[in-house]
């Protein structure tokens, strides 16, 4: 059993250094993408306060085998939307633009998809491999403006490390 949860509240940069080190330790040498995403979703849940959802959406073909869309991956939280087209909602916007989406008020985001009505703010970071989106890391909070630029930078570093592990 691993216990990677920080012992005390940490400054954001230190928190993300520890989170990255824990993710590195859990995923190093493990070739199974689902196992790695599952452990990282659990780490995000343990490390980051005030979340109501933490996890991954993977890029895959739509139900007909056509255009790529986001498909639910490992997560911690309430049941979620299974499929999200590129360009739809915060996750789809991150996938389509290949850019982090830091949203202080999801209810003001055009086309927001309310998988959990309790969510008030969201941070979505694309995971890129060779310039292509392979997944997104999605964090939701019931608190407005929960996420900061430090959170975005920390999760972007995590996404870069995971690019060859998921």
What's the predicted TM-score (pTM) here? 0.95
**Which pLDDT band holds residue 111 (cuts at 50, 70, 90)?**
confident
118 near 77, Cβ under 8 Å? Answer: no
Encode pLDDT of 30-40 as tens digits.
999 999 999 99
What does the alpha-carbon distance between residue 161 and residue 138 come to, in Å, rounded to a whole number? 16
Q: Which domains does the chain have, with CATH numbers?
A: 12-162 (3.30.450.40)
Encode pLDDT of 64-102 as tens digits.
888 899 999 999 999 999 999 999 999 999 999 999 999
User: Which residue, chain included where needed, has tokens 């916007």?
Assistant: 93
Encode pLDDT of 1-28 as tens digits.
567 788 778 899 999 999 999 999 999 9
């Amino acid at each position: 059993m691993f216990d990677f949860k920080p012992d005390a509240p940490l400054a954001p940069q230190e928190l993300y250094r520890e989170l990255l080190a824990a993710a590195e330790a859990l995923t190093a040498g493990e070739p199974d993408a689902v196992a790695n995403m599952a452990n990282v979703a659990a780490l995000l849940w343990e490390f980051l306060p005030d979340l109501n959802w933490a996890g991954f959406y993977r890029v895959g073909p739509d139900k007909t085998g056509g255009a790529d869309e986001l498909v639910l991956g490992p997560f911690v939280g309430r049941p979620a939307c299974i499929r999200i087209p590129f360009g739809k909602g915060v996750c789809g916007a991150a996938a389509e633009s290949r850019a982090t989406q830091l949203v202080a008020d999801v209810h003001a985001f055009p086309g927001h998809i309310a998988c959990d009505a309790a969510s008030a703010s969201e941070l979505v970071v694309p995971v890129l491999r060779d310039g292509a989106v392979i997944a997104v890391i999605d964090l939701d909070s019931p608190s407005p403006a929960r996420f900061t630029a430090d959170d975005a930078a920390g999760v972007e570093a995590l996404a870069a490390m995971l690019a060859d592990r998921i």
